[in-house]
Amino acid sequence: MTGDGKAIGTKFGIAFNGKWVWRMKDYIDGGFMKLFHPEFLYANYDMSKSHREQKAGLKIMETNELFEEEKASEKLILDPIRTKVAAMNTKVAADCLNCHEDEEEFFERLFIIDRMGKEEDFMRGVVNHYRQVKIYA
């Protein structure tokens, strides 16, 4: 993080920078931190009572229960983006990652990076195109 609402990140031997990197990192970190919040850790946690009052009767959530409500609401927004990225060729993906530093939308880029981690040929193609493109100034 650079302190001005932008961040620098690297993955697969290429570097990314900008507001979208900051927002993506914040999104990922926020999800991780929720894992330690009692409201998300326990299925029957009551925010109006102290942890000590509830301790004996608390039921730890199963991993697959975590964030199900959030996932359902995000699904309507994110599924079309996932579909778009799944059909994306490597040049378009590289161009998307190589955007202006003031770009803030990150989900499409997050899904591209995720796909790169799952599909080696896609990753190599994106990296090759990304390295050939002049960085947006």
**3-state DSSP helix/strand/coil % of the chain, to nearest 5:** 60, 10, 30
Whether 137 is in a domain gets the answer no
Count: domains in the chain? 1
> By C-alpha distance, which of 125, 120, 136, 137 is closest to 92?
125
Whether 83 is in a domain gets the answer yes
Domain range for 13 is 7-132
Choice between 17 and 33, residue whose per-residue pLDDT is larger: 17
Radius of gyration of the chain (CA): 19
Predicted structure pTM score? 0.73
Whether 122 is in a domain gets the answer yes
Whether 2 is in a domain gets the answer no
Dump pLDDT digits (tens) for 113-125. 999 999 999 999 9
Whether 1 is in a domain gets the answer no
Bridge partners of 11?
14
